[in-house]
């Protein structure tokens, strides 16, 4: 039964929350719950440190290509960012510092892997890998977007005699200096790791299946004077953040959803100019030239990749990989590329989201079954029949070249409004209404047709049917949607 009682109708009801994951979104959820006056929550983290993707990714050259003054919480600006685009290590330190400052770090239960969440009798029952359990009124799944590495299905991969490293699970015990390194993949991770490693290795072979468009991007350091200014005049930092956010929305996120937009054409032209002016050898230039439009795959920003791949010790291999052997990589032209270390920059299993956690909703319905044709969520937050179960950066949200922190902040604000109605006694259970979900999915598919992602390339933005998984509207529309829930779109009991 759906009710329409006002939030102030009843007395305050105690609410207990289970937060899964202590990455950027989980830390945020805990901070915002407290601000809203909710103190009964537990954060479960399967690893032994917080930080999520910034804990897991430590490959050489790692940096975020969203400007640092935007890639941080709005309520915890950081005057000390060293560069316009901070390194992975600096971002990890930032999250650790924020968690400490807000007293969240000591609330995290480390080494606790949630295996199963079951909704029964109006509450969520939580089962952990170590056999322990818990229960709560709400689950906030802050389990990340790009989390579990994807390993390529290449014959003989396991036979390679040297170390094999995935970029998302770098082993710093493996020496790379002075050795022959092969890198498979040309995504954001590959471009950064190649640019960093080329300076120290004896030979670097980059195995490219698909070339990438690359935007030139400088990364100037902030001077001590600028940092001092940010510290003493926080309004300057806030203004900078607002400018960057606006520029990102107008220049990029609003552009990619309209394949015919002049902004996107400007991005494409800038990428072409970067290729033309940076790569001297015409033959190499053509091998690096994509046949699709810029923005179709996730755009890559780099100041130094073209310079790196033109170094005498670097080689671009475009012949298809046929197999991996103990000595190296074999390509279709019959050539064996001898290697000491193999780097897999082959991306992530992008359809996981909260999985492999088994989530069982109302009447025993399993999320894995509901998502058998691909993950989806109403406004990237809620799935019908999974009451009081909310995702941060769940499927169908804005992902791409902009700040997932901004996205998560908007989402938690919205979720807390839904929760507030429970606290005030208007209803006990809330989840997306099936009709709203269907409408959202249909509108999303329709809107996705004119995005650049669907203009003819393979990318992690596309589901197996070739439909973009991401939010296909403007970032302003997302902001507007997140302002307040339309309760009619939710089933409330
Ligand atoms: O992964 P990807 P990523 N044989 O999936 C290739 C964020 N991020 O880790 O293009 C040969 O983009 C595959 O080839 P193809 C960002 O959102 C951000 O680099 O499919 N090649 C592709 O080249 C990013 O988009 C930052 O033909 C194979 C590559 O592997 C997302 O994470 C830094 C293959 C995978 O690229 C993922 O980036 C890093 C095979 N069998 C990551 N299988 C910054 O902020 C796969 N490939 C800077």
Name the residue of 57, 154, 209 whose CB sits within 8 Å of the most ligand 1 atoms, as the mutation to test its pocket.
Answer: 209
Listing DSSP states for 157-198 in one string gives GGG-SS-EEEGGG--TTS--TTSEEEEE--SHHHHHHHHHHT
SS3 205: strand
Shared domain for 385 and 479, answered yes or no, is yes
Q: Which residue is closest in CA terms to ligand 1's atom 8? A: 188
Q: In the chain, what percentage of residues exceed pLDDT 90?
A: 94
Residue 26 near residue 110 (C-beta atoms within 8 A): no
pLDDT for residue 191: 98
Task: Please give the tally of structural domains in the chain.
Answer: 2
Q: Where among 310, 344, 378 does a domain terminate?
A: 344
Shared domain for 369 and 480, answered yes or no, is yes
CA of 186 to the centre of ligand 1 (A): 6
Shared domain for 395 and 337, answered yes or no, is no
Residue 131 within any structural domain of the chain: yes
Q: How confident is the model at residue 408 (pLDDT cuts 50, 70, 90)?
A: very high
Q: How confident is the model at residue 11 (pLDDT cuts 50, 70, 90)?
A: confident
Residue 98 within any structural domain of the chain: yes
pLDDT for residue 402: 66
Q: Where among 344, 359, 381 does a domain terminate?
A: 344
Taking alpha carbons only, the member of 146, 165, 217, 136 closest to residue 60 is 165
Cis peptide before 35 (omega within 30 of 0): no
Shared domain for 289 and 165, answered yes or no, is yes
- Helix, strand, coil percentages in the chain from 3-state DSSP, rounded to 5: 35, 20, 50
Residue 146 has phi, psi (to 5 degrees) of -105, 95
Residue 43 within any structural domain of the chain: yes
Residue 454 within any structural domain of the chain: yes
Q: Where among 291, 312, 344 does a domain terminate?
A: 344
∠389-143-89 over CA atoms, to 5°?
150
CA of 344 to the centre of ligand 1 (A): 9
Spatial separation of the C-alpha atoms in residues 350 and 187, rounded to whole Å: 14
Residue 245 within any structural domain of the chain: no
Q: Which helix (H) or strand (E) holds 126?
A: strand 123-128
Shared domain for 268 and 372, answered yes or no, is no
Shared domain for 130 and 269, answered yes or no, is no
Q: How confident is the model at residue 111 (pLDDT cuts 50, 70, 90)?
A: very high
Residue 84 burial (C-beta neighbours within 10 Å; 0-12, 13-18, 19+): middle
Average pLDDT over residues 191-195: 98
Residue 228 within any structural domain of the chain: no
CA quadruple 271, 277, 282, 285: dihedral positive or negative?
Answer: negative
pLDDT for residue 335: 98
Work out which ligand 1 atom sits closest to the CA atom of 460. Answer: 5
Shared domain for 172 and 102, answered yes or no, is no
CA of 217 to the centre of ligand 1 (A): 19
Model confidence, pTM: 0.96
Spatial separation of the C-alpha atoms in residues 114 and 215, rounded to whole Å: 40
Work out which ligand 1 atom sits closest to the CA atom of 401. Answer: 17
Domain that holds residue 412: 17-148+349-492
Spatial separation of the C-alpha atoms in residues 85 and 83, rounded to whole Å: 5
Residue range 59-107, pLDDT digits in tens: 999 999 999 999 999 999 999 999 999 999 999 999 999 999 999 999 9
Q: Which residue is closest in CA terms to ligand 1's atom 37? A: 347
CA of 345 to the centre of ligand 1 (A): 6
Shared domain for 299 and 182, answered yes or no, is yes
∠181-184-186 over CA atoms, to 5°?
115
Q: Which residue is closest in CA terms to ligand 1's atom 18? A: 188
Shared domain for 187 and 314, answered yes or no, is yes
CA of 491 to the centre of ligand 1 (A): 38
Residue range 121-155, pLDDT digits in tens: 999 999 999 999 999 999 999 999 999 999 999 99
Shared domain for 86 and 185, answered yes or no, is no
**Pocket residues for ligand 1 (CB within 6 Å)?**
63-65, 146, 152, 154, 167, 184-190, 192, 209-210, 298, 321, 345-348, 458, 460
CA of 346 to the centre of ligand 1 (A): 5
């Amino acid at each position: 039964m759906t009710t329409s009682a006002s939030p102030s109708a009843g007395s305050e009801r105690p609410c207990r929350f289970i937060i899964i994951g202590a990455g950027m979104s989980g830390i945020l959820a805990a901070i915002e719950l407290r601000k809203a006056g909710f103190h009964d929550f537990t954060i479960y983290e399967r690893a032994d440190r917080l930080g999520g993707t910034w804990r897991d990714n430590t490959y050489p050259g790692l940096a975020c290509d969203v400007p640092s003054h935007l890639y941080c919480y709005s309520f915890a600006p950081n005057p000390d960012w060293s560069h316009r685009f901070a390194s992975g290590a600096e971002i990890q330190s930032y999250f650790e510092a924020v968690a400490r400052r807000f007293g969240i770090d000591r609330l995290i239960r480390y080494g606790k892997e949630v295996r199963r969440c079951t909704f029964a009798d109006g509450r969520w029952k939580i089962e952990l890998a170590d056999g322990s359990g818990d229960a709560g009124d709400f689950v906030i799944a802050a389990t990340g977007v790009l989390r579990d590495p994807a390993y390529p299905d290449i014959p003989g991969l396991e036979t390679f005699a040297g170390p094999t490293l995935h970029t998302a699970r770098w082993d710093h015990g493996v020496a790379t200096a002075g050795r022959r390194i092969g890198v498979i993949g040309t995504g954001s991770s590959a471009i950064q790791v190649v640019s960093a490693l080329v300076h120290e290795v004896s030979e670097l072979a980059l195995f490219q299946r698909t070339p990438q468009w690359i935007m030139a991007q400088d990364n100037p350091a902030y001077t001590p004077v600028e940092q001092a200014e940010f510290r003493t005049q926080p309004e300057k930092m806030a203004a900078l953040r607002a400018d960057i956010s606006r520029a990102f929305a107008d220049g990029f996120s609003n552009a990619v959803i309209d394949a015919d937009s002049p902004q996107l054409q400007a991005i494409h032209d800038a990428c072409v100019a970067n290729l033309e002016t940076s790569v001297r050898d015409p033959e190499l230039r053509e091998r690096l030239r994509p046949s699709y439009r810029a923005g179709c795959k996730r755009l890559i920003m780099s100041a130094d990749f073209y310079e790196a791949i033109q170094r005498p010790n670097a080689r671009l291999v475009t012949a298809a990989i046929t197999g991996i052997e103990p000595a190296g990589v074999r390509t279709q032209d019959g050539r064996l590329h001898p290697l000491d270390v193999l780097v897999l920059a082959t991306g992530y299993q992008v359809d996981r989201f909260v999985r492999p956690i088994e989530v069982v909703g109302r009447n025993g319905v399993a999320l894995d079954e509901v998502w058998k044709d691909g993950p989806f969520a109403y406004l990237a937050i809620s799935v019908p029949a999974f009451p009081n179960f909310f995702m941060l950066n769940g499927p169908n949200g804005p992902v791409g070249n902009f700040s997932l922190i901004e996205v998560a902040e908007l989402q938690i604000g919205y979720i807390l409004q839904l929760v507030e109605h429970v606290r005030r006694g208007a209803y006990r259970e809330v989840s997306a209404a099936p009709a709203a979900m269907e409408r959202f999915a249909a509108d999303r598919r329709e809107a996705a047709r004119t995005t650049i992602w669907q203009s003819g390339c393979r990318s992690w933005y596309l589901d197996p049917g070739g439909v973009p998984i991401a939010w296909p509207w403007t970032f302003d529309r997302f902001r507007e949607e997140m302002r307040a829930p339309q309760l009619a779109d939710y089933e409330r009991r």
